[in-house]
C-alpha cells in the first residue's frame, strides 16, 4: 500500500480522548526549523529501565562525533503514553523520539504523529525478521519505527512434574489438549495451565499464530477480522478446555496464580521469551525446574509462533531533526554495543536477529540455568514469528476482550460469543470515529 494511501486511510477521522494536561515544554528542545543541518538536541520518551545508561553510550560516542545529543525522559507505558504523545502532538510539542508498542503504531500514524523514516532506515530492514519489520511498516512502503524488542511465544513447563506424571511435551495443540486431560486423570487437583482474560496480548498472539489478521485494508476502508476462522478456532479450542474443566479458568498475575505455579498446582504456561522474569517473581521456589519448548502447532507441518509484547523506536512529525533522530533510532536498535547494553541494563530480548545469538545471550536466564540452550532455541523460534495486523482502535478490542472473555471464562460459557462481541464493538467504534469499514 502506498504511503499516501495509508495516511489517507488511517487519518480519515480518528477521535482520541486527550487529557487536559498542558505539555508546552515537553517536546524537542530545539525549535529552530533549520536546525536539521546543525547540532541536534533530541528528547526521547521511553519507559524502558536503564535506557539512560544506554543513551549515554551514544552521547559519548557516535552522538558526540555527529553532534547529536539525546536526553531520555522516563514515561509510563501503554495507553497512558499514547495519550500523552497525542496530547503533546496536538500542541506540536511532541518529543523527537518515542518508544511505542507495535499495536500502538496505527493509532499514532492515524494522528499524523509519526514520521516516515523509510529513506533514513534503508540499511536496517535486513537486520530483522520479516514478520517483525512488517509491524513497523503497517503493510505500506513507509517505515514508522525501528523494532526494538520482541516477544516470540513459547511453551513453558515443569520438567520434573512432566516426568513425574508421565507426560510428553506437546508439539501440537491437539496433543496439548490430550496432555491437559491426562494430567487431570492422574492428578485431579492439578492443572496443566489456565485460560486468562486479563492480558489481551496472549490471545492476540495465539490468534496470530493460527493465521488471524484482525485489521486489514480493503481499498480505502478498514476490514475487521477478529471473528475470522483462525480466531474462532483458537477461541473454541480454549473455550472447550475451560468448559470441560481440563484447565483452570483463573486470571494470571494474581497471588493465587503465583501460588499455583510455585507449588506445582499449575505445571505449564503458554507465554513469551520474557517469561523467566515473571516466573522468577511468581514462582521463586521452582527455579531450575522449568524448561522451554516451541509453541504447539495446529498441525505437524507447521512451524510458526505468535508474538506477545514488544516495542519500537519512532520519530515524531514534530521533530525538527528527523534525520538525526532516525540515525539514533537505528543505532539504538541495531548497533552491537547498544543492543548488548539494552540486554544488560534493560533486560530486553532484542528484535535485531544478530543480537539474539550474541555474547549477551550466551548464557541462559538464571532461572533456566538447567537449560543451557535457552536462547539458542529462542532465536530459532523468533525467526518463525507470524506477521501481525494491527488497527487504529486496538484499545477498544482489547478492552472488550478483557470484559467479554473474563465473563466467558468465569461462567464457562461460549467463547465464540465473546469473540463476536469483540468484533462488533471494534467495528462499531471504527464507524463512530468516521472510518470507512468494509463489511
The pLDDT assigned to 37 comes to: 62
pLDDT in tens, 144-178: 999 999 999 999 999 999 999 999 999 999 999 99
Strand bridging mode 268-272 / 146-158: antiparallel
75-80: long-range contacts at Cβ-Cβ below 8 A with a sequence spacing of 24 or more? 75/45, 75/46, 75/47, 75/99, 76/47, 77/47, 77/101, 79/395
Q: Which of 132, 135, 91, 134 is nearest to 113 (CA)?
A: 91
Centroid of chain to Cα 280:
21
pLDDT at 36: 59
Q: How far apart are the first and last CA of the chain?
A: 20
If pLDDT is split at 50, 70 and 90, which confidence band does 389 have?
Answer: confident
The burial class, CB within 10 Å (0-12 / 13-18 / 19+), for 34 is exposed
| Average pLDDT over the chain, rounded to an integer | 91
Check whether 31 has a pLDDT greater than 50: no
Give 218's pLDDT tier (boundaries 50, 70, 90).
Answer: confident
Q: How confident is the model at residue 17 (pLDDT cuts 50, 70, 90)?
A: very low
The whole-number pLDDT of residue 370 equals 96
Residue 434 has pLDDT above 60, yes or no: yes
Model-level pTM greater than 0.75?
Answer: yes
Question: Is the confidence at residue 34, as pLDDT, over 80?
Answer: no
Number of CB atoms found within 10 A of residue 337's CB: 13
Percent of the chain having pLDDT more than 90?
84
Q: Yes or no: say if 131 and 386 are a contact pair by the CB < 8 Å rule.
A: yes
Q: Is residue 374 scored above 80 in pLDDT? A: yes
Please report the sign of the dihedral spanned by the C-alpha atoms of residue 181, residue 184, residue 186, residue 191.
Answer: positive
Q: What is the DSSP annotation of 212-264?
A: --SEEEETTEEEE-TTSHHHHHHHHHHHHHHHHTSSB-PPSSSHHHHHHHHHT
pLDDT band (50, 70, 90) for residue 69: very high
Amino acid at each position: 500500500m502506498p504511503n499516501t494511501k495509508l495516511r489517507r486511510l488511517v487519518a480519515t477521522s480518528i477521535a482520541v480522548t486527550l487529557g487536559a494536561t498542558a505539555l508546552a515544554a515537553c517536546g524537542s528542545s530545539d525549535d529552530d526549523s533549520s536546525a536539521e543541518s546543525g547540532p541536534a538536541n533530541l528528547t526521547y520518551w521511553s519507559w524502558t529501565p536503564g535506557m539512560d545508561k544506554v543513551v549515554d553510550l551514544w552521547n559519548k560516542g557516535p552522538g558526540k562525533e555527529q553532534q547529536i545529543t539525546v536526553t531520555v525522559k522516563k514515561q509510563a507505558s501503554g495507553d497512558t503514553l499514547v495519550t500523552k504523545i497525542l496530547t503533546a502532538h496536538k500542541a506540536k510539542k511532541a518529543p523527537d523520539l518515542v518508544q511505542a508498542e507495535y499495536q500502538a503504531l496505527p493509532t499514532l500514524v492515524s494522528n499524523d504523529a509519526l514520521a516516515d523514516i523509510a529513506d533514513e532506515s534503508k540499511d536496517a530492514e535486513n537486520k530483522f525478521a520479516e514478520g517483525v519489520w512488517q509491524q513497523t511498516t503497517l503493510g505500506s512502503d513507509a517505515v514508522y519505527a525501528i523494532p526494538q524488542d520482541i516477544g516470540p511465544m513459547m511453551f513453558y513447563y515443569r520438567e520434573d512434574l512432566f516426568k513425574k506424571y508421565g507426560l510428553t511435551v506437546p508439539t501440537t495443540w491437539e496433543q496439548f489438549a490430550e496432555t491437559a486431560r491426562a494430567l487431570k486423570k492422574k492428578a485431579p487437583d492439578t492443572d496443566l495451565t489456565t485460560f486468562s482474560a486479563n492480558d489481551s496480548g496472549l490471545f492476540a498472539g495465539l490468534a496470530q499464530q493460527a493465521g488471524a489478521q484482525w485489521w486489514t485494508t480493503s481499498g480505502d476502508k478498514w476490514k475487521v477480522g477478529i471473528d475470522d476462522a483462525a480466531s474462532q478456532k483458537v477461541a473454541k479450542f480454549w473455550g472447550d478446555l475451560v468448559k470441560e474443566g481440563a484447565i483452570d479458568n483463573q486470571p494470571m498475575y494474581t497471588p493465587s496464580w503465583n501460588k499455583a505455579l510455585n507449588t506445582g498446582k499449575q505445571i505449564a504456561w503458554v507465554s513469551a521469551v520474557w517469561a523467566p522474569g515473571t516466573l522468577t517473581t511468581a514462582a521463586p521456589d521452582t527455579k531450575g525446574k522449568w524448561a522451554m519448548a516451541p509453541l504447539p502447532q495446529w498441525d505437524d507441518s507447521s512451524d510458526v509462533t505468535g508474538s506477545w509484547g514488544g516495542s519500537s523506536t519512532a520519530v515524531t512529525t514534530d521533530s525538527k531533526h528527523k534525520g538525526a533522530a532516525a540515525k539514533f533510532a537505528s543505532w539504538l536498535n541495531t548497533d552491537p554495543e547498544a543492543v548488548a547494553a539494552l540486554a544488560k541494563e534493560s533486560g530486553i530480548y532484542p528484535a535485531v536477529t544478530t543480537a539474539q545469538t550474541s555474547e549477551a545471550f550466551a548464557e541462559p536466564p538464571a532461572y533456566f540455568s538447567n537449560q543451557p540452550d535457552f536462547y539458542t532455541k529462542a532465536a530459532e523460534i523468533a525467526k518463525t514469528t507470524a506477521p501481525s495486523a494491527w488497527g487504529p482502535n486496538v484499545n477498544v478490542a482489547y478492552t472488550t476482550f478483557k470484559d467479554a472473555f473474563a465473563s466467558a471464562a468465569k461462567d464457562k460459557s461460549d467463547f465464540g460469543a465473546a469473540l463476536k462481541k469483540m468484533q462488533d464493538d471494534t467495528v462499531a467504534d471504527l464507524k463512530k470515529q468516521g472510518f470507512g469499514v468494509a463489511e
